[in-house]
Structure 1
Amino acid sequence: MSNKATHPPDTPLYPIREVSRLTGVNSVTLRAWERRYGLIRPQRTPKGHRLYAQDDITRIERILQWLNRGVPVSQVADLLDQPDTVEAPAPNAGDWESQRQQLQAIIEALDLPKLEAFYHQSLALYPLSAAINELWQPVVLTLEAKWAVQPDELVRRTFEAFLRSQVGIRLHYANQATRGPLILLNVMPDDPGPLWVLMAALMASEQGYRVQLLDHSLPLEDLPQAVARLHSSMVLLSSGQREADAYIRQALPDAAASLNVPIGVCGEVARLRDGELRDTSVHILGDDLPQAIARLRPLLRESGVL
């Protein structure tokens, strides 16, 4: 399929905001794909406004399919006209690894201007789920493993402060723009910082939820009051640690059984403690954050919120 904007005169055309709604790709990303990689080439009105035909929308959906298979955006152009049966290139054939190395180096160098530019570029070029899955989550995992052996509180706290400010701005405006269910997001007691919960907050906000983020652990006994006063539809807890046995095996299941909204768990703790929580009232959402947030909708539907 060609990416040239040559359509019959009677072809229905859609403005960028409608294409964004139909595909789930924000307008900033659509413009970046066009300008930087030439992946799509919409028509223009005399005033320069973009107009997309149905085959443009189909092309965007194919781009998403390749990105969701782990292909970096720099390689997508060569694959768009290939049959669906063509296998994605091996992960090490792309530039994800080089991007991860670059991001980690920027974080460890405390180069905040470069970190801000990298952050905005990654969210412009990729759907958030791909940016989290292929870039930010792997780097956080690598850094946390490194910090467990060789702590670097300055780098950790600086990185946390950066993400807190960026995510906070995004949540502020997103919460005003949506009427979706309110998710109360909180870290677990043993997590040394809010990195996992900040990434979860980004994903939840992107999926249309209002997010109340608490990046310091709230005692489980205070959750009923927090849910009632904040009018939360569910509680989502996150951690990159195993958490204490007593917390996982008794305190958390007891809290979930007594709360009148669902409690979900995501992050590394969900993978590490899956077997111990599986037969409790706690909902195990997994350590893959995009998948974890995707599981919220059926869970909220089952509980009668949606």
Structure 2
Amino acid sequence: MAYKLKDIERMTGLRSGTIRMWEKRYGLLQPVRSETNIRAYDKEEVKKLLLVEALKRCGYRISNLAKCTPQELTALAEKELLAESEEGAVGVWVQRLLSAALDFDELAFQQWLNRAVFHLGHLQTYRRVLVPLLQRAGLLWNVGKAESLHEHFLSNLIRGFFFSAVERLPLPNRSEAPFLVFLPEGEFHEIPLLFAHYGLLAQGRRSVYLGQNFETDLLSHLQRTFRPRAIVTFYLMDRGVESFVNYLDTLRSELPGVELFVGAPERVAGKLDRPPEGVRLFTEPAAILEAFSEQ
């Protein structure tokens, strides 16, 4: 599979001009070119650049990294993981997880993810490793585009990570009023939702996970069935500000007096002058956890 320069920019966080300069000055990559002179990179070139970018952020000079073999780059990455610098290790974990996804290597992915969790814990692994990983893979705020094979693979591994993490937590007190956690009808990208669900349970709160694509017609049953403490949902697809406001109004009318925690990307939330009364709006999934702690 060949990757275009714009794909490499997203995955590495590097600008196209920087990538071209490294190619020209240091011979770091050897892209193939189409008949119209468009660059394309194979998987091994992408993995190499991911590793170089992570090591550069650890303080290594690009001129030295460009001279290294893949084996030498890997050894330097392992050295960073063993060092005291947690920040350097975080960058390497992101790179290793992306590379495992490119290889469809589930075992390697799980091993690197478990290693991050061992050092950081689940919540910090999500914030510091998985959020950058999802951003680079284009999965943090899904915009309704068709996912590639790699994105499907990565998304399902992370879903499994959260389901497994939830199973390890103690059961919450069933006498408490629950937080109800679900996605609106037509929404299927549940990674931010799973993070919120795990975060609530990790704080010792009762969270009822109702999942993706929760039918609007069922909202009227939630109040009498659960008497919820709050609703947590994510409105991810940009269907226009009117559709977003209508959904918020529907939640407020069907669940009067229930506080609403709503996550939405800036391209959606930014269209509102202010959130409606009773709605707490967030543009970063991790920020919702801090709001939960105030409850």
TM category (shorter chain) comes to 0.5 to 0.7
Q: Which residue of 2 aligns with 1:69?
A: none
1:210 maps to which residue? 206
Q: What count of residue pairs does the alignment treat as equivalent? A: 212
Determine the C-alpha separation between the residues in 1 that align with 2:227 and 2:215.
Answer: 18
* TM-score with structure 1 setting the length: 0.58
Where in structure 2 are the equivalents of 1:31-70 lying within 5 Å? none
Q: Which letter does structure 1 place at the counterpart of 2:97? A: L
Deviations 1:187-242 (Å, cap 9, x if unpaired)?
A: 23454421221222222222222222233221334223134324432110024443
Decide whether aligned partners of structure 1 residues 102 and 178 sit closer, same or farther in structure 2, where only a CA change above 3 A counts: farther
How far apart, CA to CA, are the structure 2 residues paired with 1:162 and 1:143? 13
For normalisation by structure 2, the TM-score amounts to 0.59
Quote the residue 1:113 is aligned against. 107
Q: CA deviation at 1:161?
A: 3.0
1:175-190 pair list within 5 angstroms:
176-178=171-173, 181-189=177-185
Find the aligned partners of 1:121 and 1:209 in 2 and give their Cα distance: 27
The partner residue of 1:169 within 161, 164, 167 is 164
Letter of the 1:291 counterpart: A
What do the CA deviations read for 1:50-75 (whole angstroms, capped 9, x no partner)?
xxxxxxxxxxxxxxxxxxxxxx9954
User: Aligned letter for 1:166?
Assistant: F
Gaps of 5+ in 2: 1-80
Residue of structure 1 aligned with 2:151, choices 153, 156, 168: 156
Compute the displacement of 1:256 (Å): 1.8
2:260 to 240, 243, 263: 263
Q: CA deviation at 1:163?
A: 3.0
Deviation at 1:184, TM superposition (A): 1.3
**What's the counterpart of residue 140 of structure 1?**
134
Deviations, residues 36-90 of structure 1 (Å, cap 9, x unaligned): xxxxxxxxxxxxxxxxxxxxxxxxxxxxxxxxxxxx995459xxxxxxxxxxxxx
| Structure 1: stretches of 5+ with no match in the other structure | 1-71, 78-90, 301-306
How many Å apart are 1:274 and its aligned residue?
A: 4.3
Shift in alpha-carbon separation, 1:291–1:250, aligned structure 2, 3 A: same
Letter in 2 for 1:289: P
Quick one: which amino acid aligns to residue 171 of structure 1?
A: V
Contact conserved, 1:252 with 1:282, CA < 8 A, in 2?
A: no
Map 1:1-306 onto structure 2 (within 5 A): 74-75=83-84, 94-144=88-138, 151-174=146-169, 176-178=171-173, 181-189=177-185, 191-260=187-256, 261-268=258-265, 272-276=268-272, 278-298=274-294, 300=295
- The one-letter code sitting in structure 2 at the alignment partner of 1:163 is I
Find the residue that maps to 1:174 and give its secondary structure.
coil
In 2: Cα distance, 1:149 partner to 1:249 partner: 19
- For the structure 1 residues 265 and 76, does the alpha-carbon distance in structure 2 shift closer, same or farther, using more than 3 Å as the test? same
Aligned partners of 1:194 and 1:262: how far apart in 2? 21
Decide whether the 8 Å contact of 2:90 with 2:129 is kept in 1.
Answer: yes
**Partner Cα distance (1:227, 1:198) in 2:** 22
Q: Give the Å deviation of 1:145.
A: 6.2
- For residues 225 and 148 of structure 1, the distance between their equivalents in structure 2, rounded to whole angstroms, comes to 29
Q: Distance in 1 between matches of 2:260 and 2:145?
A: 33
Q: 1:126 to 1:148 in 2, by over 3 A?
A: same
Q: Answer yes or no: is the 8 Å Cα contact 2:183–2:234 preserved in 1.
A: yes
DSSP-derived class of the 1:214 partner: strand
Percent of aligned pairs sharing the same letter? 11
